[in-house]
Amino acid sequence: MRGEDPENRGGGRTGEVKSRVNDSGYSAPSSSFLIDDSETQWTSWLIPMFVVANVAMFLVVMYINNCPKHNLGFQGKCVARFLGRFSFQPIKENPLFGPSSATLEKMGALKWTRVVQKHQGWRLVTCIWLHAGVIHLVANMLSLVFIGIRLEQQFGFVRIGIVYMLSGFGGSIISSLFIRNNISVGASGALFGLLGAMLSELITNWTIYSNKAAALITLLVIIVINLGIGILPHVDNYAHIGGFLSGFLLGFVLLPRPQFGWLEQRNLHVKSKYKAYQYVLWLISLALLIVGFAVALVMLFRGENGNDHCHWCHYLSCVPTSRWNCGEN
């Protein structure tokens, strides 16, 4: 999250939020686009557990934050003081109704100096489970339920769990490469990874979808809108992009479906479980994932600044207008 607008950056406010969503949150194409097949439909339990874990972590953070005890009053009084130590930081400090930046950093928020100079690489994972405030938490969890349960029902908890965690990890790496002076928290990188996996799943399983054009256009519009929101100030779009790219490649590796002849087991002429192009996409994506993660991690822990290698990349996270400036963005 970043400072002024959680999942926002620096300043006197809470950090840098990795996600902004439209009014309905992230959304996904209807499952009616998919032609029914004989694959097992899984019972979703991992995504609900992720939601419970995120809510529980937020309560722990708020308990430790203890605004009535630690707030010095420079930016106003605690909000909802009837909640006692669970009350929120002043609105001027954190408009998303949550803890202070100091508490988030203490609990594992992503910060370049901590990760690289103090060798706290675990923050690349812990930041995924932290949220800047109630608004941030609710938006992300609604999005996770809407997208994640459907995917887990179709592909199982193992594959979707891997996509979620590695996408969040990938988003954290990219964010750390480009953002140095502010903290970042949120599950948005992982959520964008699920969106990316949905897109690659549609592409690699193209032949089993009906209304292909409608499914593709719907998903692309959703992705473009959510990535577009990331160019506003105080939003960590680097985490969005890193998570999306990770999930997109992981979808080709983990989510291909067998061709129809194999599933029905009636077409004796079908000798291969997958089509040739699925194998090609699998190999290319796996190679890109391994190389990409390796190069990004080496760059990060060598202390390299991504902005030095991409002088225009700051526009991916914030585009200045007459109404706002991007500052460090």
87 is catalytic: no
322 is catalytic: no
Active-site option among 131, 234, 240, 314: 240
Active-site option among 19, 101, 188, 246: 188
- SS3 labels along the chain: CCECCCCCECCCCCCCECCCCCCCCCCCCCHHHECCCCCCCCCCCHHHHHHHHHHHHHHHHHHHHCHHHHCCCCCCCCECHHHHHHCECCCCCCCCCCCCHHHHHHHCCECHHHHHHCCCCCHHHHHHHCCCCHHHHHHHHHHHHHHHHHHHHHHCHHHHHHHHHHHHHHHHHHHHHHCCCCCEECCHHHHHHHHHHHHHHHHHCHHHECCHHHHHHHHHHHHHHHHHHCCCCCCCHHHHHHHHHHHHHHHHHHCCCCCHHHHHCCCCCCCCCCCHHHHHHHHHHHHHHHHHHHHHHHHHHCCCCHHHHCCCHHHHCCCCCCCCCCCCC
Residues with catalytic function = 188, 240
